[in-house]
Protein backbone atom coordinates (compact mmCIF):
# COMPACT_ATOMS: atom_id res chain seq x y z
CA UNK A 1 0.00 0.00 0.00
CA UNK A 2 2.84 2.41 0.86
CA UNK A 3 4.61 1.65 -2.42
CA UNK A 4 1.38 2.25 -4.34
CA UNK A 5 0.95 5.61 -2.59
CA UNK A 6 4.52 6.65 -3.44
CA UNK A 7 3.91 5.79 -7.10
CA UNK A 8 0.72 7.84 -7.23
CA UNK A 9 2.41 10.83 -5.62
CA UNK A 10 5.15 10.72 -8.28
CA UNK A 11 2.51 10.86 -11.05
CA UNK A 12 0.38 13.56 -9.44
CA UNK A 13 -0.24 16.22 -12.09
CA UNK A 14 -1.93 18.67 -9.74
CA UNK A 15 0.73 19.02 -7.09
CA UNK A 16 4.31 18.02 -7.83
CA UNK A 17 6.29 16.32 -5.10
CA UNK A 18 9.89 17.22 -5.67
CA UNK A 19 11.42 17.55 -9.12
CA UNK A 20 9.01 18.53 -11.89
CA UNK A 21 10.01 16.31 -14.80
CA UNK A 22 7.70 17.92 -17.36
CA UNK A 23 8.92 21.44 -16.60
CA UNK A 24 12.60 20.46 -16.58
CA UNK A 25 12.39 18.54 -19.86
CA UNK A 26 10.37 21.29 -21.57
CA UNK A 27 12.91 23.92 -20.53
CA UNK A 28 15.76 21.74 -21.79
CA UNK A 29 13.95 21.10 -25.09
CA UNK A 30 13.51 24.83 -25.59
CA UNK A 31 17.19 25.40 -24.93
CA UNK A 32 18.64 22.60 -27.07
CA UNK A 33 15.92 22.23 -29.73
CA UNK A 34 14.39 25.71 -30.13
CA UNK A 35 13.12 24.98 -33.66
CA UNK A 36 11.89 21.42 -33.09
CA UNK A 37 8.20 22.03 -33.76
CA UNK A 38 8.82 24.14 -36.84
CA UNK A 39 11.32 21.61 -38.20
CA UNK A 40 8.82 18.79 -37.66
CA UNK A 41 6.17 20.63 -39.64
CA UNK A 42 8.65 21.40 -42.41
CA UNK A 43 10.38 18.05 -42.81
CA UNK A 44 8.25 15.35 -41.18
CA UNK A 45 4.56 16.15 -40.81
CA UNK A 46 3.56 15.53 -44.45
CA UNK A 47 5.14 12.08 -44.57
CA UNK A 48 4.49 10.85 -41.01
CA UNK A 49 2.15 7.95 -40.23
CA UNK A 50 0.36 7.80 -36.89
CA UNK A 51 -0.40 4.24 -35.73
CA UNK A 52 -2.12 3.17 -32.53
CA UNK A 53 -0.13 -0.04 -32.09
CA UNK A 54 3.36 -0.24 -33.53
CA UNK A 55 3.25 -4.06 -33.45
CA UNK A 56 -0.18 -4.47 -35.05
CA UNK A 57 -0.27 -6.42 -38.35
CA UNK A 58 -1.25 -3.29 -40.26
CA UNK A 59 1.78 -1.46 -38.82
CA UNK A 60 4.10 -4.29 -39.83
CA UNK A 61 2.56 -4.29 -43.32
CA UNK A 62 2.98 -0.52 -43.59
CA UNK A 63 6.67 -0.76 -42.72
CA UNK A 64 7.29 -3.74 -44.98
CA UNK A 65 5.83 -2.01 -48.04
CA UNK A 66 8.62 0.56 -47.91
CA UNK A 67 11.26 -2.21 -47.95
CA UNK A 68 13.62 -0.18 -45.73
CA UNK A 69 17.30 -1.02 -45.63
CA UNK A 70 17.47 0.39 -42.11
CA UNK A 71 15.02 1.72 -39.51
CA UNK A 72 16.20 3.92 -36.64
CA UNK A 73 14.38 4.13 -33.31
CA UNK A 74 14.73 6.07 -30.09
CA UNK A 75 13.32 3.95 -27.30
CA UNK A 76 9.58 3.44 -27.36
CA UNK A 77 7.48 0.35 -26.60
CA UNK A 78 8.58 -3.26 -26.90
CA UNK A 79 9.16 -4.09 -30.56
CA UNK A 80 8.00 -7.58 -31.50
CA UNK A 81 9.82 -9.90 -33.90
CA UNK A 82 7.51 -9.41 -36.94
CA UNK A 83 8.10 -5.65 -36.87
CA UNK A 84 11.87 -6.01 -36.43
CA UNK A 85 12.04 -8.54 -39.25
CA UNK A 86 10.13 -6.20 -41.58
CA UNK A 87 13.24 -4.03 -41.79
CA UNK A 88 16.58 -4.94 -43.28
CA UNK A 89 18.27 -3.63 -40.14
CA UNK A 90 16.54 -2.05 -37.15
CA UNK A 91 18.55 0.06 -34.72
CA UNK A 92 17.71 1.56 -31.35
CA UNK A 93 19.18 4.36 -29.26
CA UNK A 94 18.44 3.59 -25.61
CA UNK A 95 18.87 6.56 -23.27
CA UNK A 96 20.78 4.54 -20.72
CA UNK A 97 24.26 3.05 -20.56
CA UNK A 98 23.68 -0.63 -21.26
CA UNK A 99 24.15 -3.02 -19.58
CA UNK A 100 24.53 -0.83 -16.45
CA UNK A 101 21.22 1.02 -16.76
CA UNK A 102 18.53 -0.88 -18.67
CA UNK A 103 14.76 -0.53 -18.49
CA UNK A 104 12.46 2.36 -17.61
CA UNK A 105 13.35 5.88 -16.44
CA UNK A 106 17.08 5.18 -16.73
CA UNK A 107 18.00 8.62 -18.06
CA UNK A 108 16.58 10.17 -14.87
CA UNK A 109 17.43 7.43 -12.38
CA UNK A 110 21.13 8.12 -12.82
CA UNK A 111 20.54 11.57 -11.33
CA UNK A 112 18.34 10.18 -8.56
CA UNK A 113 21.07 7.66 -7.73
CA UNK A 114 23.69 10.41 -7.54
CA UNK A 115 25.38 9.09 -10.68
CA UNK A 116 24.88 11.82 -13.30
CA UNK A 117 28.13 10.71 -14.93
CA UNK A 118 26.34 7.49 -15.93
CA UNK A 119 23.74 9.38 -17.93
CA UNK A 120 23.98 8.76 -21.65
CA UNK A 121 22.85 6.34 -24.30
CA UNK A 122 23.59 3.12 -26.12
CA UNK A 123 23.34 2.56 -29.86
CA UNK A 124 22.31 -1.05 -30.38
CA UNK A 125 20.61 -3.48 -32.72
CA UNK A 126 16.91 -3.67 -31.97
CA UNK A 127 15.88 -6.69 -29.92
CA UNK A 128 12.66 -8.15 -28.57
CA UNK A 129 14.37 -8.01 -25.17
CA UNK A 130 13.92 -4.57 -23.62
CA UNK A 131 17.17 -2.64 -24.13
CA UNK A 132 18.90 -5.97 -24.70
CA UNK A 133 20.20 -5.61 -28.24
CA UNK A 134 23.79 -6.11 -29.32
CA UNK A 135 25.84 -3.00 -28.57
CA UNK A 136 27.32 -0.82 -31.31
CA UNK A 137 28.41 2.28 -29.37
CA UNK A 138 28.00 4.36 -26.22
CA UNK A 139 27.54 8.09 -25.92
CA UNK A 140 27.99 10.07 -22.70
CA UNK A 141 27.29 13.80 -22.80
CA UNK A 142 29.54 16.44 -21.34
CA UNK A 143 28.60 17.03 -17.71
CA UNK A 144 28.45 20.67 -16.63
CA UNK A 145 28.17 22.02 -13.10
CA UNK A 146 24.55 23.13 -13.37
CA UNK A 147 23.15 20.23 -15.39
CA UNK A 148 19.75 18.81 -14.53
CA UNK A 149 18.19 15.49 -15.59
CA UNK A 150 16.43 17.36 -18.40
CA UNK A 151 19.58 18.95 -19.82
CA UNK A 152 21.52 15.68 -19.65
CA UNK A 153 18.62 13.95 -21.40
CA UNK A 154 18.60 16.46 -24.27
CA UNK A 155 22.37 16.31 -24.65
CA UNK A 156 22.14 12.51 -24.79
CA UNK A 157 19.58 12.74 -27.61
CA UNK A 158 21.90 15.06 -29.54
CA UNK A 159 24.71 12.55 -29.05
CA UNK A 160 22.50 9.69 -30.16
CA UNK A 161 21.72 11.54 -33.38
CA UNK A 162 25.44 12.05 -33.97
CA UNK A 163 26.06 8.31 -33.50
CA UNK A 164 23.31 7.50 -35.95
CA UNK A 165 24.85 9.81 -38.55
CA UNK A 166 28.26 8.18 -38.15
CA UNK A 167 26.88 4.65 -38.27
CA UNK A 168 24.64 5.29 -41.26
CA UNK A 169 27.53 6.88 -43.16
CA UNK A 170 29.44 3.62 -42.69
CA UNK A 171 26.43 1.57 -43.81
CA UNK A 172 26.01 3.67 -46.96
CA UNK A 173 29.71 3.19 -47.70
CA UNK A 174 29.22 -0.58 -47.43
CA UNK A 175 31.54 -1.02 -44.46
CA UNK A 176 31.11 -4.05 -42.25
CA UNK A 177 30.37 -3.51 -38.57
CA UNK A 178 30.72 -5.34 -35.28
CA UNK A 179 27.93 -5.81 -32.76
CA UNK A 180 28.73 -6.95 -29.22
CA UNK A 181 26.35 -9.04 -27.08
CA UNK A 182 25.39 -7.37 -23.81
CA UNK A 183 25.13 -10.38 -21.59
CA UNK A 184 23.10 -10.09 -18.40
CA UNK A 185 22.24 -6.47 -17.46
CA UNK A 186 23.80 -5.11 -14.29
CA UNK A 187 20.46 -3.54 -13.39
CA UNK A 188 17.06 -3.53 -15.09
CA UNK A 189 14.61 -0.92 -13.83
CA UNK A 190 10.85 -1.26 -14.04
CA UNK A 191 8.29 1.54 -14.37
CA UNK A 192 6.69 0.69 -11.03
CA UNK A 193 9.97 1.49 -9.26
CA UNK A 194 9.57 5.19 -10.09
CA UNK A 195 8.01 6.93 -7.07
CA UNK A 196 8.06 10.32 -5.38
CA UNK A 197 11.17 9.12 -3.53
CA UNK A 198 13.08 9.61 -6.80
CA UNK A 199 11.50 12.99 -7.58
CA UNK A 200 12.24 14.30 -4.10
CA UNK A 201 15.79 12.96 -4.28
CA UNK A 202 16.38 14.58 -7.66
CA UNK A 203 15.10 17.91 -6.37
CA UNK A 204 17.59 17.72 -3.51
CA UNK A 205 20.45 16.78 -5.85
CA UNK A 206 19.69 19.72 -8.15
CA UNK A 207 19.61 22.06 -5.18
CA UNK A 208 23.01 20.78 -4.05
CA UNK A 209 24.42 20.92 -7.60
CA UNK A 210 25.83 17.40 -7.51
CA UNK A 211 27.05 17.68 -11.11
CA UNK A 212 29.89 19.92 -9.93
CA UNK A 213 31.61 16.73 -8.74
CA UNK A 214 31.33 15.04 -12.14
CA UNK A 215 32.25 17.71 -14.70
CA UNK A 216 33.75 16.16 -17.86
CA UNK A 217 33.84 16.37 -21.63
CA UNK A 218 31.61 14.20 -23.77
CA UNK A 219 32.64 10.60 -24.40
CA UNK A 220 32.00 8.75 -27.66
CA UNK A 221 32.88 5.05 -27.58
CA UNK A 222 32.41 3.35 -30.95
CA UNK A 223 32.80 -0.41 -31.11
CA UNK A 224 31.22 -1.18 -34.47
CA UNK A 225 34.17 0.02 -36.56
CA UNK A 226 36.92 -1.85 -34.70
CA UNK A 227 38.17 -4.59 -36.99
CA UNK A 228 38.97 -7.13 -34.29
CA UNK A 229 36.13 -8.46 -32.12
CA UNK A 230 38.33 -9.14 -29.10
CA UNK A 231 39.71 -5.60 -29.21
CA UNK A 232 36.17 -4.23 -29.44
CA UNK A 233 35.06 -6.32 -26.46
CA UNK A 234 38.04 -5.10 -24.47
CA UNK A 235 37.21 -1.47 -25.26
CA UNK A 236 33.60 -2.03 -24.19
CA UNK A 237 34.73 -3.58 -20.92
CA UNK A 238 37.25 -0.79 -20.33
CA UNK A 239 34.63 1.90 -21.00
CA UNK A 240 32.16 0.39 -18.53
CA UNK A 241 34.75 -0.23 -15.82
CA UNK A 242 36.13 3.30 -16.16
CA UNK A 243 32.64 4.75 -15.74
CA UNK A 244 31.73 2.62 -12.75
CA UNK A 245 34.98 2.86 -10.81
CA UNK A 246 36.43 6.22 -11.80
CA UNK A 247 33.40 8.22 -12.92
In the chain, how many domains are there?
A: 1
Helices (H) and strands (E) in the chain, counts: 9, 7
Q: CA distances (Å), 26 to each of 68, 185, 190, in order?
A: 32, 30, 24
Do 225 and 177 contact (CB within 8 A), yes or no? yes
In a domain, 85, yes or no: yes
In a domain, 99, yes or no: yes
- Residues 183-190 have a mean pLDDT of 90
Longest Cα separation, the chain: 56
Which of helix, strand or coil describes residue 8? helix
pLDDT digits (tens, 9 = 90+) for 107-125: 999 999 999 999 999 999 9
CATH of the domain at 127: 3.40.50
In a domain, 84, yes or no: yes
pLDDT surpasses 80 at 92: yes
* Confidence (pLDDT) at 14: 43
* Confidence (pLDDT) at 1: 46
From the CB of residue 78, how many other CB atoms can be counted at a distance below 10 Å? Answer: 11
Instruction: Report which of 176, 157, 158 is spatially closest to residue 167, judged by C-alpha positions.
Output: 176
DSSP 190: -
pLDDT surpasses 60 at 9: no
Tell me the residue range of the domain where 79 lies: 16-32+68-246
In a domain, 61, yes or no: no
pTM beyond cutoff 0.85: yes
- Tell me what percent of the residues of the chain surpass a pLDDT of 90: 88
Amino acid sequence: MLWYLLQKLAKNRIKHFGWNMVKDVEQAETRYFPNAQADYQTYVADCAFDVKDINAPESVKLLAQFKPDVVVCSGGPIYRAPLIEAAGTMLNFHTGISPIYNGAWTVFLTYANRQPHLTGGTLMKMSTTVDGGNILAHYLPAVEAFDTPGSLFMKSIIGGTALYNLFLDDMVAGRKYLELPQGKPFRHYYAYEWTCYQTLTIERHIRHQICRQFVRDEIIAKYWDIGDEQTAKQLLKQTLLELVYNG
